[in-house]
Structure 1
Amino acid sequence: MAKPSPVKKSPPRSAPHQVRIIGGQWKRTPLAVLDAAGLRPTPDRVRETVFNWINHLIDGGWDGLRCLDAFAGTGVLGFEAASRGAAEVVMVEMQTQAVRQIETIKDKLHAEQVRILRSDAISTMQSLQRSGTQFDLIFLDPPYHSDWLARSLPLCVPLLRPGGLVYVESEMPLASETPPEWLQGWQIMRAGSAGMVSYHLLQPEKGAEVQA
């Protein structure tokens, strides 16, 4: 009697080989995505929604904006902001291969407003705090199922200019009846989900203080 064939499990969904810039001067430009562990670029349709939100909240005023992409990965969030006219975009990434890829894209686009730091996000944010550096927009898209978000979001309060925004991507929605302690003091301005991706725009509540 023949043995039944084993059930084959579907392979985990891999990252796309490329993403594209949605808007601005580099609209439709494809960006290659490395096949590296933990590299998970924000999907095009999510980025389109998020940047429409941001564009509405800042009334299209990208000129002069300073942005921090704390977990840059492919760099697509930072390059999207630069494409739309942000004056400065600081990208922070630890993986050497990813940093080299971001540098290649920067050179290809002649993106002089982009500054790339090969460093740990937390230590870099702490260093930027000490120097008094502030931004209008901060992107937080850390690896899922880790404590990076809980550690990095509180550091954003002193790094934001008045009226500044933080984009947060996570494996689950942040809104709940009992939000985690690290989310206290933040207002969720916009939120959505697409598949396994939950995405949010946050702003500090009035009078929010730095958490230790």
Structure 2
Amino acid sequence: MTRRRAPSHRRPASKAAGRLRIIGGEFRRRLLPVLDRPGLRPTPDRVRETLFNWLAGAPPGAQVLDLYAGTGALGLEALSRGARQAHFVEGDAAVASTLRSNLATLGANGQVTTGDVMALLDAPADAAAPYALVFLDPPFRRGLAEPSCTALEAGGWLAERAWIYLETEAELTPRVPASWILHREVRAGDSHARLYRRLSSPGDAC
């Protein structure tokens, strides 16, 4: 279900290897190159379709933050479906460069930061914050999920009623901020995907 995994968790090669297909919205059916890196694969079509069905009308006009972006499949999909702007953060410089090229090919409104996600989140929130939609897909088994969630909440990165998509290894039940309410979840293979809604006040409901 993920965009990046350790080599031991790589899926078998398929006809779609090396390509990302946008599945909905303005850029539907566009094919984009994916850099050949161990464990780097676009989030599968069916998972993206499920996620954006969960989100329903959330993306239009949204400011999007895609952390540990990899191929940028989720952020690009959000831009295709009407998000206003997306900020991608990726630590691998070559992968980030490919993502910039793909944004230019689409003519999409996005920016890519090459660097460490935790260092970014521990700094003051950027000018585009607060974000209404966040994709968070840290590498498995490195203890990054919970600190990333805590930093997102504490640093002023999230809009009131923001949506946060978190993907982790299947065996992990992450602790998230108390203001995040689980909206939907699904397990597939070695991954567990959860979509949270941030409450603007304790009395709010999802």
TM-score, normalised relative to structure 2: 0.82
**Corresponding residue number in structure 2 for 1:95:** 92
Q: RMSD over aligned Cα, in angstroms?
A: 2.4
1:167 lines up with 2:165 in the alignment: yes
| Change in CA separation of 1:147 and 1:11 when aligned onto 2, cut-off 3 Å | closer
1:125 lines up with 2:113 in the alignment: no
Which deviations, in whole Å up to 9, do the C-alpha atoms of 1:80-115 show, x marking residues without a partner?
01101111100011101101110110111111x101
The amino acid across from 1:27 in the alignment is R
Contact between 1:187 and 1:203, CA under 8 Å: does it hold in 2?
yes
Aligned residues: 189
Instruction: Output aligned runs, 1:111-190, within 5 Å.
Output: 111=108, 113-129=109-125, 133-157=129-153, 158-172=156-170, 180=174, 182-185=175-178, 186-190=180-184
1:202 lines up with 2:203 in the alignment: no
The amino acid across from 1:198 in the alignment is H
Of 158-167 and 198-207, more deviation after overlay is shown by 198-207
Contact between 2:170 and 2:189, CA under 8 Å: does it hold in 1?
no
For structure 1, which runs of at least 5 residues remain unmatched after alignment? 1-9
Contact between 1:187 and 1:204, CA under 8 Å: does it hold in 2?
yes
Give distance in 2, aligned partners of 1:92 and 1:11: 22
* Overall identity of the aligned pairs, in %: 35
Instruction: Output aligned runs, 1:23-102, within 5 Å.
Output: 23-55=24-56, 60-102=57-99
**Corresponding residue number in structure 2 for 1:108:** 105
**Corresponding residue number in structure 2 for 1:7:** none
Give distance in 2, aligned partners of 1:140 and 1:173: 17
Contact between 2:161 and 2:200, CA under 8 Å: does it hold in 1?
no
Helix, strand or coil for the counterpart of 1:187?
Answer: strand
Give distance in 1, aligned partners of 2:127 and 2:97: 26
Contact between 1:19 and 1:44, CA under 8 Å: does it hold in 2?
no
Give distance in 2, aligned partners of 1:42 and 1:11: 14
Counterpart pick for 2:186 among 192, 196, 209:
192
| Change in CA separation of 1:166 and 1:109 when aligned onto 2, cut-off 3 Å | same
| Change in CA separation of 1:138 and 1:72 when aligned onto 2, cut-off 3 Å | same
Higher relative contact order (CA 8 A, sep 6+): 2
TM-score, normalised relative to structure 1: 0.80
User: 4+ runs of 1 displaced by more than 3 Å?
Assistant: 204-208
